[in-house]
Structure 1
Amino acid sequence: MSGIYIHIPFCKQACHYCDFHFSTSLKNIELLTEAMCKEIKLQKDFFNELKVNTIYFGGGTPSLLDGENLSKIINTLYDTYNIAETPEEFTFEANPDDINIHKLENWKKIGVDRLSIGVQSFNKDILKFLNRAHDQIMAEKALEDCKKEGFNRFSLDLIYGIPGRDLEEWRKDIEKALSYDPEHISAYSLTIEEKTVFGNWLNKGKLEPMDDDEVIQQYLLLVNILEDHGYEHYEVSNFAKPGYRAVHNTSYWNSIPYLGIGPSAHSFLNEKRWWNISNNQAYINSINKGIIPCESESLSKEDQVNEYIMTKLRLKEGIDNNEFINRFGFDFIEKNKSYLHEISSEGLGVLLNNFFKLTTKGKLFADQIASNLFY
């Protein structure tokens, strides 16, 4: 089992919080499409005999691609790799302002069976504050069109912890999202990154982050409401109806091989990681010379242990000590017994039947707890 990630590094405009790699100049879309098709062919031996079960188009904004460029990439993928006749999941990220009946029909025709829709909020003032390209009316119409076209398998992205938004406004966003009955919801706490508009405002004293206690209240409200509506809180930021976990993204947390295509895309195979250059023109120039512009690292045993701890603690199931022993040759629970009992007594974790997992409260401190457990 393996997956392919395609990074489309273009956006209509820069959201004030985003530090992903993208360009707001769309003039090189065709040149980049050709380069990505060439990279796919250059990576033809990446998987050897492994079958590809998942495809994920992310960005940036994949929904900016027209049908012709999208079809070129899809056809090259199927011509090059051993892709399952019916992939377990084919996800396509889309922004509400790009979604219309024609595009939905085309996406379905090429095999997309799951959409990840960047709504972020249904509040027009918040969307403007975030500098999103859509408003709440576009978001509502996009979701209605998805339902109309039979795209019942979709995920919504939401953001909480936004300065100036109170608990009641956040509740309204959650309830509005639930009114469309999505199979999956991803909700992320706003992080203010240095090289963003929000980061600039913060440095100039023009923006004050939300108080940590308020962020925690919004997170707990989210968890309570979604679990009351039957959603499984299967990863720190992800909620799904039973049977609708994000298959491709779950592979990242379970060390399943994946290939990333495009500028800034990451790949993983046999405890080795690669990442492509985050520059569109440099990427195109290098690919046209037959060279994949990437760096790589081989994960040491220490890296592998630490990554396992970090990713597994984010998941509902937590750390399976038997699996840990088989993979790394030592007993995770025995080595960390004192600390595990300490955080369990504080209501942050549960140690049961040779498993250790975090509680809802513990997930708020997942990164800190993981770092304290690093090898």
Structure 2
Amino acid sequence: MPGIYIHVPFCKKACHYCNFHFSTQLQLKSDLVAAICKEAVLRKTFLQETVDTIYFGGGTPSLLSGSELEILLNTLNEHYTIAPNAEITLEANPDDIDPKTLNQWHQAGINRLSIGIQSFFEEDLQWMNRAHNAQQANHCIELAQTAGFYNLTIDLIYGTPGLTNERWKQNIETALTLGIPHLSCYALTVEPNTALDVMVRKGTKEEVDADHQAIHFNILTETLQNAGFEHYEISNFAKPGFRSKHNSSYWQGNPYLGLGPSAHSFDGHVTRQWNISNNPLYISSLQQGIIPFESEMLTMVQRINEYLMTSLRTIEGISLNFLEKNWGEERKQEVLKAAQIHVVQQNIQLQEQHIILTAQGKFLADGIAADLFVE
């Protein structure tokens, strides 16, 4: 079933590594909420099926008040058919979490939290320019669990230049001790035009070391596997029953509606849309009843390659039967031929009509997918 993504483009401060669309100027927050509601009404024909997931991303959605979240969710419930047991996720920063706020989120309808921990160590958080401290990183999880949020996920970042192997393992062990059932763990990347990119080019920050990151990735996968977690997507690990339904829907190619500045939408077939990445222009356009977006029609080759890229990252891998059913025997054989070198190198294996990454291949997923792309 389809999902709805709402982009909340506000943050208290700019993390050095982030390249998402956001602003640290919060004056337009209430105007933006009204504009997103207007967009939701104008787009109500985009999704005809029952909506199974709603995801508040950003930015920092936890900067919204409980009443602003209620306004947004009430609008969606009024104009869309939302499943009674829909997964409704809110991305939150540790410094925004307190008992009163947690209770407001519950009342608004949030039933899953994605908390941007990144690290449980003060020096790492300062290096990233995060808004919270190590004490808040630990305490916020206990507060959330006490408030009844047991469907929790946290983000952790590995491969930063100053992060030792031992401290990285302690980050993972802390998450396990706190009883968190889902982790999203990302290798630090130096994205163009970020503060980190500028610092690296000026020599004030060290460059990322791929070998260092590979060691951290192996520590991560081994530790979580031994703890009973399912490595169901390259960056995502879950206890049984705690996979992210929303993100899994993306990887399965299901339709989704994106609301808010810079948000993307996909009809599940060939049409992709994306909103303008400019808060004032987004707001002023919606005030005039205009949705400021661009769109494209995906070619067959683009659809195949997107399927190869996303499915290869998952535990189920690439389905050869799906390839044949949707794009023909010739395309399936083309992918199989390209895969042979990686089978020999033991980066991938063929299992019951599926191409699946080996443990060795998981750290090379993007490069392997590119080798499989059709032309």
What is the correspondence of 1:105-120 to structure 2 with a 5 Å cutoff?
Answer: 105-120=103-118
* Identity rate, percent: 47
Q: Structure 1: how far apart are the matches of 2:85 and 2:108?
A: 12
**Residue correspondences, number:** 373
What is the correspondence of 1:36-185 to structure 2 with a 5 Å cutoff?
Answer: 36-48=36-48, 50-87=49-86, 89-185=87-183
Contact persistence 1:321–1:332 (CA under 8 A): no
What is residue 14 of structure 1 aligned with on the other side? 14
Q: Structure 2: how far apart are the matches of 1:333 and 1:83?
A: 37
Contact persistence 1:164–1:210 (CA under 8 A): no
Specify whether residues 207 and 219 from structure 1 end up closer, same or farther in structure 2 by C-alpha distance, changes over 3 A only: same
Deviation string, structure 1 residues 324-344 (Cα, Å, up to 9, x no partner): 111112255532444323212
- Is the partner of 1:187 in helix, strand or coil? strand
What is the correspondence of 1:214-253 to structure 2 with a 5 Å cutoff?
Answer: 214-253=212-251
Give the C-alpha shift of residue 353 in structure 1: 1.7
Contact persistence 2:324–2:332 (CA under 8 A): no
What is residue 190 of structure 1 aligned with on the other side? 188
Structure 2: give runs of 5+ residues left out of the alignment: none
Amino acid at match of 1:123: F
- Is the partner of 1:86 in helix, strand or coil? strand
Give the C-alpha shift of residue 364 in structure 1: 1.1
What is the correspondence of 1:264-343 to structure 2 with a 5 Å cutoff?
Answer: 264-269=262-267, 270-330=269-329, 333-343=332-342
**TM-score, normalised to structure 1's length?**
0.97
Give the C-alpha shift of residue 210 in structure 1: 3.1
Q: Structure 1: how far apart are the matches of 2:318 and 2:216?
A: 27
Q: Structure 1: how far apart are the matches of 2:262 and 2:16?
A: 20
Contact persistence 1:266–1:275 (CA under 8 A): yes
Q: Structure 1: how far apart are the matches of 2:336 and 2:36?
A: 48
Deviation string, structure 1 residues 76-112 (Cα, Å, up to 9, x no partner): 111111111221x111100000001111111112221
Q: Structure 2: how far apart are the matches of 1:30 and 1:67?
A: 12
Quick check: 325-334 or 351-360, which moved more? 325-334
What is residue 260 of structure 1 aligned with on the other side? 258
Q: Structure 2: how far apart are the matches of 1:278 and 1:335?
A: 38
Q: Structure 2: how far apart are the matches of 1:303 and 1:265?
A: 20
Q: Structure 1: how far apart are the matches of 2:239 and 2:80?
A: 31
Q: Structure 2: how far apart are the matches of 1:339 and 1:19?
A: 33
- Is the partner of 1:133 in helix, strand or coil? coil
What is residue 29 of structure 1 aligned with on the other side? 29
Amino acid at match of 2:72: I
Give the C-alpha shift of residue 19 in structure 1: 0.7
Give the C-alpha shift of residue 255 in structure 1: 0.8
Amino acid at match of 1:51: T
Specify whether residues 222 and 175 from structure 1 end up closer, same or farther in structure 2 by C-alpha distance, changes over 3 A only: same
Contact persistence 1:117–1:155 (CA under 8 A): yes
1:347 has 2:346 as partner? yes
Q: Structure 2: how far apart are the matches of 1:171 and 1:120?
A: 13
Query: Which runs of structure 1 show a deviation greater than 6 angstroms over 4 or more consecutive aligned residues?
Result: none
Give the C-alpha shift of residue 206 in structure 1: 1.5
Deviation string, structure 1 residues 9-32 (Cα, Å, up to 9, x no partner): 000000010010001011110111
Quick check: 102-111 or 28-37, which moved more? 102-111
Structure 1: give runs of 5+ residues left out of the alignment: none
Quick check: 63-72 or 126-135, which moved more? 63-72
Q: Structure 2: how far apart are the matches of 1:132 and 1:331?
A: 49
Deviation string, structure 1 residues 31-61 (Cα, Å, up to 9, x no partner): 111111111111111113x111110000000
**TM-score, normalised to structure 2's length?**
0.97
